[in-house]
Amino acid sequence: MNMNRQYTAPVTTAILVVNTLVFLLIAFQSNAEQSRLIDLFGLSVDGFFQQKHFWQPLTSMFMHQHPIHFFVNMLALWSIGTPIEITVGRARFTWLYFISGFAGAALMLLFPPAINAAGIGASGAISGLVGALAVFYPRATLLLFFVLPMPAWLLAVLFGGSSLFAYKQDFIPFMGHMAHFGGLVGGVAYSFLALGLKVGGSHLVESPYAA
């Protein structure tokens, strides 16, 4: 098999490109227009339930305003999404990504942040990729905060636990901690129930991105 074809991830690339284009579009708007776009397309309890903006769970997944938020999410998307897409294939990866994102959005609507501002970002969907990586490659080494190495399964457990703790303690009250937790749970659940792949199974596609 052609190695270049084997190790390509077109869905991951497409999602990254769309996020980049939307980020640049927002960046070149005035502050007032940025606020209007975030209120309209970001995810909020008022926007979804009161104003009937039912597109928000989808559109909010592709919006970033601050460069650090954007770059961290896109780095995580590329580094984690690539081996997962290679493992499960394009169609299943697409379902995994959006189910995780919608699961995160659902929990954020049910358990909104203390400061109920519109939430934006791909973090919920990417959290689902973290959960999937813990299922498919539990012993893969990841760097916590880009410094501390740990296995994927432990990172997923710590990430989920810290998200719940942060929500209960109102830590960074504007952050969608439950979106992170919901995305993580959605990714793990889809990986187990829909894909039916065993944890650490030897039949998984080998990936140069997973240790």
How many Cα neighbours within 13 Å face the side chain of 45? 13
User: Does a structural domain hold residue 207?
Assistant: no
In a domain, 188, yes or no: yes
Full residue range of the structural domain in which residue 152 is found: 3-194
- Residue 137 · residue 210 · CB < 8 Å: yes
Q: Calculate the average pLDDT of the chain.
A: 86
Quick check: is 62 in a domain? yes
- Is the residue at 88 inside a domain? yes
Read off the pLDDT of each residue in 172-193 and give the average, rounded to a whole number.
90
Q: Phi first, then psi: give them for residue 199, nearest 5 degrees.
A: -65, 125
Per-residue tokens: 60: 């909010």
199 has a pLDDT exceeding 70: no
Residue 210 lies in a domain: no
Looking at the domain assignment, is residue 166 inside a domain? yes
pLDDT at res. 71: 95
The per-residue DSSP string of 109-132 comes to HHS--SS-PPB-SSHHHHHHHHHH
Q: Is 180 a catalytic residue?
A: yes
What CATH number should be reported for the domain holding residue 126? 1.20.1540.10
Name the burial class of residue 4, with classes exposed (0-12), middle (13-18) and buried (19+) by CB atoms within 10 angstroms of its CB: exposed
Q: Which residue has the higher pLDDT, 196 or 24?
A: 24
Q: How confident is the model at residue 2 (pLDDT cuts 50, 70, 90)?
A: very low
Show the beta-strand stretches assigned E in the chain: 141-144, 148-151
**Residue 198: pLDDT above 60?**
no
- pLDDT category, 7, cuts 50, 70, 90? low
Which residue is associated with the tokens 């209120």? Answer: 39
Q: What percent of the chain has pLDDT over 90?
A: 65
Is 209 inside any structural domain?
no
pLDDT at position 140 is 84
Q: What is the tens place of the pLDDT at every residue in 63-110?
A: 999 999 999 999 999 989 999 999 899 999 999 999 999 999 999 999
Task: Please pick, among 53, 64, 180, 191, the residue that the annotation labels catalytic.
Answer: 180
In a domain, 75, yes or no: yes
Tell me which amino acid residue 197 is.
L
Catalytic residue among 123, 163, 191, 207: 123
The dihedrals phi and psi of 55, each to the nearest 5 degrees, come to -80, -10
pTM of the model: 0.86
- Residue 123 annotated to the active site: yes
Instruction: Give the number of domains in the chain.
Output: 1
Q: How far apart are CA 150 and CA 57, in angstroms?
A: 31
